[in-house]
Amino acid sequence: MNIRTKGQLEDGLRSAFTRLHARTLGRGPKDVCVKVYGNFILVLWLSTITSVEKVIRNQPDGIEKLRRIRKDIIRASIPEFQQIIDEYLGAKIITACWDINMERNDRYLLIVIDKDVDYELKTAGVENISSTNYTRVNWPKPNRELFKVAGGLNEKTANNL
Residue 34 near residue 136 (C-beta atoms within 8 A): no
Report pLDDT for 24: 87
Indicate the SS3 state at residue 105: coil
Report pLDDT for 34: 93
Q: What is the pLDDT along the chain (161 residues), one digit of tens a residue?
A: 456 788 888 999 999 999 998 998 888 888 899 999 999 999 999 888 888 888 998 999 999 999 899 889 888 999 999 999 999 999 999 999 988 888 888 888 999 999 998 888 888 877 666 655 444 455 545 545 555 544 444 455 444 44
Report pLDDT for 8: 87
CA angle (23, 29, 33) in 5-degree steps: 110
Report pLDDT for 130: 66
Report pLDDT for 121: 84
Report pLDDT for 131: 56
Integer Cα distance of 150 and 148 in angstroms: 5
Integer Cα distance of 142 and 1 in angstroms: 28
Q: How far apart are the first and last CA of the chain?
A: 28
Give the residue ranges of DSSP H helices in 6-116.
6-25, 51-57, 62-89
**What is each CA distance from 6 to 14, 54, 84, 111, in whole angstroms?**
12, 36, 16, 17
pTM: 0.75
Host H or E run for residue 108: strand 106-113
Report pLDDT for 101: 85
